[in-house]
Amino acid sequence: QQEQAAPAQQEQVTEQVSAREETSASRTNERAATPEPAAPAEPAVQSQPEPAAAPAPTGGVLGIAAGLVGTPYQWGGNTPAGFDCSGFTSYVFAAVGISLPRTAAAQQSFATPVSDPQPGDLVFYGYPAYHIGIYAGNGMMYDSPRPGKILDLRPVFDGVSGYGRVG
């Protein structure tokens, strides 16, 4: 009799396991269908061009800058192993054949001031400049900000003292 009961018990266990799997799958599907909460909106940048998606770099200064995104900040750095702000800008412009002075203040003196920045222009903070980046268009810039951060494309932030064109 036990031999006949064993297949019946096995069939009952199999049905129970199948029922649990269906229930689990149902719960999993319901969770996956739940929409994720919306990301909080970033504060608007005041007195700067409206941030928006920068044009896709196709080469030149912006293409080189885009290729360096993710490089860590390094004080005094001027290679893809690590950059400070002016080391980054001097490296990028050297790659297109334009020799810039090494410091942000010297680059500010070297550049021709412009009031209508175009992609590839320099963005200066302070006078003399203490920080510099490369304008990417639509209120965005590439820069190597400070220790613990990486070189990235981000909105131009408050405090711009001017823009400059070289080349």
d(CA 131, CA 112): 17
Query: What would the pLDDT profile of 155-167 be if each residue is shown by its tens digit?
Result: 999 999 999 999 8
The DSSP call for residue 149 is -
Residue 126 lies in a domain: yes
Domain encompassing residue 108: 60-165
Residue 41 lies in a domain: no
d(CA 100, CA 106): 8
Residue 134 lies in a domain: yes
CATH code assigned at 149: 3.90.1720.10
* Average confidence (pLDDT) over 5-32: 44
Residue 103 lies in a domain: yes
Residues in the chain: 167
Residue 151 lies in a domain: yes
The answer to whether the predicted template modeling score (pTM) of the entire model surpasses 0.85 is no
Domain count along the chain: 1
Residue 159 lies in a domain: yes
Residue 148 lies in a domain: yes
CB atoms under 10 Å from CB of 75, counted, come to: 10
Name which of 65, 43, 54 is nearest 122 in CA terms: 65
Residue 152 lies in a domain: yes
Query: What would the pLDDT profile of 54-112 be if each residue is shown by its tens digit?
Result: 444 557 999 999 999 999 999 999 999 999 999 999 999 999 999 999 999 999 999 99
